Amino acid sequence: MPDTLTITDNRTGKQYEVPVQDGAIRAMDLRKIKVQEDDFGLVTYDPAYQNTAACKSAITYIDGDKGVLLYRGYPIEQLAEASNYLETAYLILFGELPTASQMEAWNKEITLHTMLHENVKQFMEGFQYNAHPMGVFLSTVGALSTFYPDAKQIFDAESRRHQTVRLIAKTPSIAAYAFRHLTGRFYVYPDNDLSFTGNFLNMLFKMTELKYKVNKVLERALDVLFILHADHEQNCSTSAMRAIGSSHADPYSALAGAAAALYGPLHGGANEAVLKMLKEIGSVANVPAFIKRVKGGDGRLMGFGHRVYKSYDPRAKIIKQTADMVFEVTGRNPLLDIALELERIALQDEYFIARKLYPNVDFYSGLIYQAMGFPVEMFPVLFAIPRTAGWIAQWDEMLNDPEQKIARPRQLYVGADTRDYVPADKRK
């Protein structure tokens, strides 16, 4: 017998059988619950989609209570240990780990598309000298749609694959140019001899040397951070990507919107906010007073808490280990002691325990980025580069899902009843 939910409507005394599948009822099944025949029918009210599954997805699995994160079934710990970002991106985008020859072809394809059109470079130069690199990044990604009008062919699988390669390959170049712009340095062209992350470091930090020498520890650390950030199922920016894509906009425009959603301090901007918070606290001695302030409702402990994880974020654990690796090369970030003390106190404090607030991915990533020489403004950009893989995979999945339509939630109207227009001189 199929699982069903029996609902009794106390307003009418009627009973309804609603099918339960995959632990969910279909919201549209509630529409038949009506008092009068011409009623609209029952809707669900779910601000911020806290309990609404808006899609079926085969990409990323999270068990927030157990701290589990899988990409296409593979645990994040194993990918962070053994994979690299480009391979993980392939897995996320195409569903399986590549064979050796598929990987070679993928590597080559991405490497060949890292260059930006010279006009892109020129208009990037037009931004204010101190323009926030995330603003530059998202505007430039959006502008790519004007360079690749073929991207409008969203139902052509070959065109989608072409845009996918362009986006994965070009986002690091845009990010690096945005960084060089902020720091007043000339833009550096990609070096095809280097790995994906090695080349990114080259475009960021190369000065007058003929060939940039990549530090292998930092290259690997950045690659691990990219793996950890590659996808995270239906978060705010991914939902934005799906919502914009659902109107059949091209992927560059949709990705610009997703990046804009990532920019906010409650999402990808959180690691920037963590660093600002640590600086503001200033010393280990000030930590208890800061925690007291947060508990009193004055601000939040940034880098703590998550809508889905109600235990330690598995990515935060890996990042903490990566931090040790990086600090051996760069020297210890002096803010680390404040972060460790914050974590120590928060993890044994009743306020944080009761609300299941643990460090999230952003708590330590900013410390690593800062030690590697990135200004805080670059942090959300560093998040956006790998998340591009997740955004595109989710967009592609959405377009191929016959159940999906243009995203268009309902509202509960709580405004004024119908009333007549009043001329300006008669208004009180």
Q: In the complex, which residues of this chain contact ligand CMC (CB under 6 A)?
A: 232, 235, 266-268, 270, 294, 300-307, 355, 357, 360-362
Phi, psi dihedrals of residue 253, rounded to the nearest 5° = -65, -40
Q: If phi over 0 gives left and psi between -120 and 50 gives alpha, with beta otherwise, what is residue 19?
A: beta
Q: In what order do the strands lie in the sheet with 15-21?
A: 4-8, 15-21, 24-25
Asked if 267 is an active-site residue, the reply is yes
**Which is nearer to ligand CMC, 67 or 190 (by Cβ)?**
67
Kindly report the backbone phi and psi dihedral angles of residue 120, in degrees, each rounded to the nearest multiple of 5, phi listed first: -65, -45
Give the Cα separation of 96 and 162 in Å (integer).
19
- 15, two tokens: 């009973």
Nearer to ligand CMC, 113 or 295 (CB): 295
| Catalytic-labelled residue, pool 223, 250, 362, 396 | 362
- Give the single-character DSSP code of 68: E
Nearer to ligand CMC, 198 or 390 (CB): 390
> CB 406 → ligand CMC: shortest distance, Å?
26
56/355 with CB nearer ligand CMC: 355
Q: What span, in angstroms and rounded, lies between the C-alpha atoms of 333 and 327? A: 7
How far apart CA 72 and CA 147 sit, in angstroms, is 32
324 in active site: no
Q: Which of 257, 166, 171 is nearest to 179 (CA)?
A: 171
Show the 3-state SS of 2-35. Answer: CCEEEEECCCCCCEEEEEEECCEECHHHHHHCCC
Single out the catalytic residue among 229, 306, 313, 396. 306
Q: Is 306 marked active-site? A: yes
Q: What are phi and psi of 74, to 5 degrees?
A: -90, 130
How many CA atoms are closer than 13 Å to the CA of 251, on its beta-carbon side? 31
Q: Rounded to the nearest whole angstrom, what is the least distance from the CB of residue 63 to ligand CMC in the complex?
A: 16
Give the nearer residue to ligand CMC in terms of CB position, either 270 or 338. 270
- Work out the burial of residue 351: count CB atoms within 10 Å of its CB; fewer than 13 is exposed, 13-18 middle, 19 or more buried: middle
Nearer CB in complex with ligand CMC: 160/306: 306
Nearest to ligand CMC of 198, 257 (CB atom): 257
CA 397/CA 59 separation, integer angstroms: 9
Q: Which is nearer to ligand CMC, 64 or 75 (CB)?
A: 64
Could you give the CA distance from residue 382 to residue 359 in angstroms, rounded to a whole number?
Answer: 19
> How near is the Cβ of 354 to ligand CMC at its closest, in Å?
9
Minimal distance, residue 348 CB to ligand CMC, in Å: 15
Sign of CA dihedral 309, 310, 311, 317: positive
Min CB(355)–ligand CMC separation in Å: 4
Catalytic residue among 267, 324, 401, 425: 267
Q: CA 286, 287, 289: angle at the middle one, nearest 5?
A: 70
Beta carbon of residue 307, minimum distance to ligand CMC (angstroms, whole number):
4
Q: What is the dihedral of CA 417, 418, 424, 428, to 10 degrees?
A: -30
At its nearest, how many Å lie between ligand CMC and the CB of residue 61? 15
- Token pair for 93: 């985008």
What residue is closest to ligand CMC based on CB? 305
Q: Using CA atoms, how far apart are residues 410 and 360, in angstroms rounded to an integer?
A: 32
Name the minimum Å distance from CB 274 to ligand CMC.
7
Where in the sequence numbering do the catalytic residues fall? 267, 306, 362
